[in-house]
Structure 1
Amino acid sequence: MEIERQQLPNSTLILVFGILSIIGCCCYGLIGLIFGVIALVLAKKATDTYAANPEMYIGYQNVKSGKILAIIGVSLSVIYIVILIVGLIMYGGIEGIQEMQREMMEQYGG
């Protein structure tokens, strides 16, 4: 008797969230971080489910790919957030950045 294999729960969603975490890292890092963390949590649960009964599920490749993409997205998001924080500190906060923009506008006749 052959066992009917079913799709691993959330495998496609993990892949989509992994992709969105890379795309979202450009939105000040926050959106990418959120999607990446959610994808990693779902991937952990799906991996545990698959490990308990691997012959019953298909779609584990989506989970692995989504997890890798989520790790990349979270890493890029964290780097982006750190760069933003360092930039704010270097330029004296929001006021410093606004002052720098005013100076550039005056200098270039804007």
Structure 2
Amino acid sequence: MNQHQEPLQNATLILVLGILSILTCCCYGVVGIVLGVVTLVLANKATATYSENPELYTGFQNVKIGKILAIIGLVLSVLYLILTIWAIMTFGWETLQDQELMQEKLREMMDQ
């Protein structure tokens, strides 16, 4: 009984989205969070499909790697978002957009 194996649906997409979630974590964290969550949802669906009949599918390694990358991207994105919110609350939006004013505020913080 030799069954033909088929590629697991969205396995390559999950891997690509996992990579993109890490690469986009510096876009104020928002893009990385969205991509990370979407990747995790797709990976969970693919894992459930694979778990039902593992002998029918190939490409589960891409799903596992994509899921790990999505978790890393999600953590980095959340940390970057927290850092961005902290900077806005500490310095203000106008200060962050003006380099000279930002340097002045940093000097004031260092003197205290």
**Displacement of 1:95:** 3.3
| Superposed structure 1 runs of 4+ greater than 2 Å apart | 95-105
Task: Show the 5 A alignment for 1:1-110.
Answer: 1-91=1-91, 93-98=92-97, 101-102=100-101, 104=103
Gaps of 5+ in 1: 106-110
Alignment RMSD: 1.8
Q: 1:99 to 1:32 in 2, by over 3 A?
A: closer
**Displacement of 1:88:** 0.8
Q: 1:104 to 1:82 in 2, by over 3 A?
A: closer
Instruction: Give TM-score scaled by structure 2 length.
Output: 0.85
Percentage of identical aligned residues: 53
Instruction: Give TM-score scaled by structure 1 length.
Output: 0.86
**Displacement of 1:26:** 1.6
Gaps of 5+ in 2: 105-112
Count of residue correspondences: 104
Which letter does structure 2 place at the counterpart of 1:45? Answer: K
